[in-house]
Amino acid sequence: MRQPVFTGACVAITTPFTPDGSKVDFDAFAAQIERQIAGGTDAICVCGTTGESATQTMEEHKLTTEFCIRQVAGRAKVIAGCGSNDTAAAVELAQHAEAAGADGLLMVTPYYNKATQTGLVKHYTYVADRVNTPIILYNVPSRTGCNIAVSTYEALSKHPNIVGVKEASGNFSAIPDIRKRCGDDFYIWSGNDDQVVPLMSLGGKGVISVVSNVAPEYMVRMTHLALEGRFEEAARMQIDLIDLVNALFIEVNPIPVKAAMAMLGLDSGALRMPLCEISEANAAKLRQTLLDFGIELKH
């Protein structure tokens, strides 16, 4: 029986760039990783959407992945973002991450050119046949314009190296269907911070989280309560979290979370164009929400 790559809270970690956006600030990145480890985070997802992988060069992507694995040094699981709309590029990133020692590979659906459901099966199978590290599919059609159908999950779940999915489609009705059709060793993680506990009540194993960049201990506590079956307590935490979740998505991710981290006094680094700084009005709303949540601000 396949095992989940991790259970609990995985941070979709941001990538801090230098002030001019030209390079990764690895000193700042190390500090971010250490804060997550200190907060008890179960896993770190590097070079995902929140990490602005779309504007990283192939070489930067590889260096950032390698650095994260070295810095974590086995103290948490490392999930390496390896998705691409180019299957050959996805294979290259996946094989690199495997060689570097990643515990899992997160693979978003092909974007822009998209794919048919048959194409998705062919794409993921082609990559999975060429690595041994467990693959987590990533379904986020609001970003990619490409949704994974439940029947496609069922087909892909038969591959021994495809162990589950980060589900961020927002189609909660699909979750029990996926669970029924794909078996108990095809695991589901929430890709939406506002749906973590409901998804875990249906057997989900945790979350790959944006909020964890700001409040790692909170997300660890909430997911672990759910893993222990203490859903009444976990549900209260989920409800109490909703304003912060909404504020961290008041503009496109990761604009607000990088702004929030800066307000906390953390070196979140510059955004890369076409992403730009949060508007003054939304920054004010974000600041107030952080204060209302009880987070101490430094700036």
Q: How many other β-carbons are positioned within 10 Å of the β-carbon of residue 276?
A: 11
What are the distances in angstroms from CA 239 to CA 21, 217, 235, 273?
Answer: 36, 16, 6, 34
pLDDT at 162: 98
153 is annotated as an active-site residue: no
Structure-block tokens of residue 181: 């059709």
The reply to whether 298 belongs to the active site is no
- Of 179, 201, 111, 122, the closest CA to residue 147 belongs to 111
Which is catalytic among the residues 62, 77, 124, 166? 166
pLDDT for 293 equals 97
Strands (E), the chain: 8-12, 43-46, 77-81, 104-108, 135-139, 162-167, 187-190, 206-209
To 10 degrees, what angle do helices 58-72 and 87-100 make? 30
| Residue 134 backbone phi and psi in degrees, to 5 | -60, 140
Q: Given 62, 77, 124, 138, which residue is catalytic?
A: 138
Per-residue pLDDT at 1: 85
Residues lower than pLDDT 70 in the chain = none
pLDDT digits (tens, 9 = 90+) for 48-85: 999 999 999 999 999 999 999 999 999 999 999 999 99
Q: Which residues pair with 122 in a beta bridge?
A: none
State the Cα torsion 161-162-163-168 to the nearest 10°.
160
What domains are there in the chain, each with its CATH number? 8-231 (3.20.20.70)
Q: Which residues pair with 234 in a beta bridge?
A: none
Q: Which residues pair with 105 in a beta bridge?
A: 80, 135
**Closest by alpha carbon to 10, among 102, 143, 91?**
102
124-140 pLDDT, tens digit per residue, is: 999 999 999 999 999 99
